[in-house]
Structure 1
Amino acid sequence: MTPLLPGLAGGLVALGILGIVVGLRPAPVVPKQPRKNSGRGRFVIDSRTRMLLLIGLGLGIVGWVVTGWVLALVIAPVAVIGLPVLLSAPPAATQINRLEAMEEWTRSLAGVLTVGIGLEQALVATLRSTPGPISAGVTRLVSRLRARWDTETALRAFADELDDATGDLIAANLILAARRRGAGLTSVLEGLAESVAADVRARRQVEADRAKPRSTARWVTVISASVLVVLALSGSYVKPYGSPIGQVILVVLLAAYVATLVWMRRMATGKPLPRFLDRRTDLSLGSGVTP
């Protein structure tokens, strides 16, 4: 068996692992906008990824020259690009900040409503004090209201932009309040803000507990990689891995370790609650979400 075959097998396995890592990377939350026909799709790699890829290729070439391992040409780039993604914290902090912003905005809206102005005027009045994570959505909501949109239609569009179960709950209460035009919305919003605040506290505690095993995995990975590099450069312990069969075994072991990291990250990434409000949902006053 020539060294090319285990190198090719290792490359295929590494590319598969890299595909899993890229697939697990969270997509940024952006408002839904109409798609523009660009004529053809393009695969774009950002400057940071290109830099990491060049560093990984350089390290792989050095490792190949020093140790004679063909797999170093694949392992180094995959490790440089993939390990920071697998060992970084999931995007829970962004989600928690958005929830906290919704809680602050709901509490602010409840305070404005206590002065006795209408719902639409209260929504406009909260624009200046809206927290940053949801300021774009509230700005568009106010713009629609100023453009004489129907209040319910504007609130449903606002819920679609938030794309969150908690945002649906807030928007549903506001829609029902716009229909009834009665008293009681202030107390409902205050209670809802307290519920969201409790959810935020619980999520922060969960993330603090999840950070401990992530830190442990990070240190274990750094120590293991350092020991492997030192042994590969100076010791005879890893000499059997230089053979074709040894290269295949090394790929299997590294793939198993990466699979463990992927499994750990998937367990630490919470699934968002499903939404219940869209532009086709028919809210009734007897549905239990009433002001």
Structure 2
Amino acid sequence: MTAAPLGDAARILAVLLGACFGTGLLLIALGALRRPTHGEEDRGGWRRRLAGRLPVSWNKRRFTVALVAGVAVGALTRWPVAALLTTAALLTLPGLLGSDSAAARRTERMEALALWTEMLRDTLSAAAGLEQAVLTTADIAPSALRRELGDLAVSVRSGQSLPASLRSFADEVDDPLADVVVAALVMAAQRQASQLAALLGELADSVREQVAMRQRIDAGRASIRAGVRVTVTVTLGMAVGLTVFNRPYLDPFNTLSGQVVLAIVGALFALSFTWLTAIGRLHEPVRLIDPTPAGARGEAGRTL
């Protein structure tokens, strides 16, 4: 016994409910992503925490495009589940299928860190002091760290102590390997450590080994992402082709039970893509220097 198809009134009601639901999600997302004004900073803590949990690429434009496209698909197909799946797909698939720009950017910054460490080593070998070596190398810094090293040089020239400036530099770079280099420099600045040039050379070699390892891992992850791209492209192409050229084949999805089946299939695809993303994700090590508020950095920095 087959389920009765949805009537016209029920379809119109489903489309309207889907449109209302999408509009509500859009308003919630825009409210969460909106940057609070000065007077709202104390009351907007939950909003900042919510926005901090969302991926960086989930900006207002992507939310708007995804929700509008979801409502349009729901109106064309009269499938509420299709509207939800389209919205979720447009939010998540571009980051999953596109190039891993974040990993490439971090690898580039690690290479720049190794190069800067070698520059410090060579400058110190020429009998320059540590502070002068930092200022000299910051002016010819690698492009991936030019802004952070420029801020470091400005901080030192403005009269701030070198250890405090280095800690601010570590907070800005936000990388465990940078913390190791900064910790060695802070100890040398505070205790006049000997053989700093040799230590910096060893640290530079270690960073380069880490870069080589990440490049090998990224090559393995590239094959996973390629497989996901093929799977998603074939699935979406088949769905669009059936919708355009053989719509009667999809008539069973016009029923309530068909929508339930479509929701289950969409959930299974989402779980599989989430699992593929999880197995290709790198777990970053814990930072050596904990981020400290600016007001407390001077007091907490004495513990390093």
Q: Give TM-score, length-normalised by structure 1.
A: 0.77
Deviations 1:170-195 (A, max 9, x none): 01110111123254111111111011
Q: Structure 1 residues 245 and 46 mapped into 2: Cα distance closer, same or farther (>3 Å)? A: same
1:213-256 CA-to-partner distances (Å, cap 9, x unmatched) read: 11111111111111122223415443322211011110111111
* Equivalent position of 1:86 in the other structure: 96
Correspondence list, 1:56-205, <5 A? 56-62=70-76, 64=77, 68-90=78-100, 91-205=102-216
Q: Deviations over 1:242-276 (max 9, x none)?
A: 21101111011111101211222122221221112
Could you say if the C-alpha distance between residues 245 and 6 of structure 1 is closer, same or farther in structure 2, counting changes exceeding 3 Å? farther
Matches within 5 A, 1:279-290: 279=297, 280=300, 282-283=303-304
Deviation at 1:98, TM superposition (A): 1.5
CA distance in 1, matches of 2:85, 2:281: 26
Conservation of the 8 A alpha-carbon contact between 1:114 and 1:186: yes
State the SS of the aligned residue for 1:148: coil
Q: 1:92, 1:269 within 8 Å by CA — same for their partners in 2?
A: no
Q: Give the stretch that moved more between structures: 111-120 or 73-82.
A: 73-82
Partner of 1:32: none
Amino acid at match of 1:95: R
Is contact 1:100–1:200 with CA below 8 Å preserved after alignment?
yes
Partner residue in 2 for 1:264: 276
1:277 maps to 2:285:
no
Q: Which amino acid aligns with 1:228?
A: A
Local SS of the residue matching 1:71 = helix
Measured against aligned partners, the alpha-carbon deviations of 1:140-164 in whole angstroms (never above 9, x if no partner) come to 2112211222222222222222222
1:205 CA displacement: 0.9
Structure 1 residues 104, 6: CA separation in 2 closer, same or farther (over 3 Å shift)?
A: farther
Give the deviation of 1:36 after TM superposition: 7.0
How many residues were matched structurally?
261
Q: Quote the residue 2:54 is aligned against.
A: none
Amino-acid identity (%): 28
Give, as a single letter, the amino acid of the residue that structure 2 aligns with 1:37: H
Paired residue for 2:243?
232
Residues 223 and 38 of structure 1: CA distance in aligned 2, closer, same or farther (over 3 Å): farther
- Deviations along 1:90-126, whole A, 9 cap, x unmatched? 4211221121111111111111111101000000001
Q: How many angstroms apart in 1 are the aligned matches of 2:254 and 2:174?
A: 52
Match of 1:37 in 2: 38
* Residue equivalent to 1:249: 261
- Does structure 1 retain, via aligned residues, the 8 Å contact 2:116–2:141? yes
Task: Give per-residue Cα distances to partners, 1:20-39, cap 9 Å, x unaligned.
Answer: xx9xxxxxxxxxxxx97252
Give the C-alpha shift of residue 208 in structure 1. 0.8
* Alpha-carbon separation, structure 2, partners of 1:38 and 1:149: 31
Higher relative contact order (CA 8 A, sep 6+): 1
Distance of 1:7 and 1:270 partners within structure 2: 41
Output the CA distance in 2 between the equivalents of 1:99 and 1:168. Answer: 12
Q: Which consecutive unaligned segments of at least 5 residues does structure 2 have?
A: 30-35, 52-57, 291-296
Question: RMSD in angstroms over aligned alpha carbons?
Answer: 3.3
CA distance in 2, matches of 1:51, 1:6: 23
Q: Which amino acid aligns with 1:88?
A: G
Mark the CA change 1:254 to 1:52 in structure 2 (over 3 Å): closer, same or farther. closer
Gaps of 5+ in 1: 23-34, 284-291
Q: Distance in 1 between matches of 2:73 and 2:139?
A: 51
AA in 2 matched with 1:50: T
After TM superposition, give the deviation of residue 77 of structure 1 in Å.
Answer: 3.4
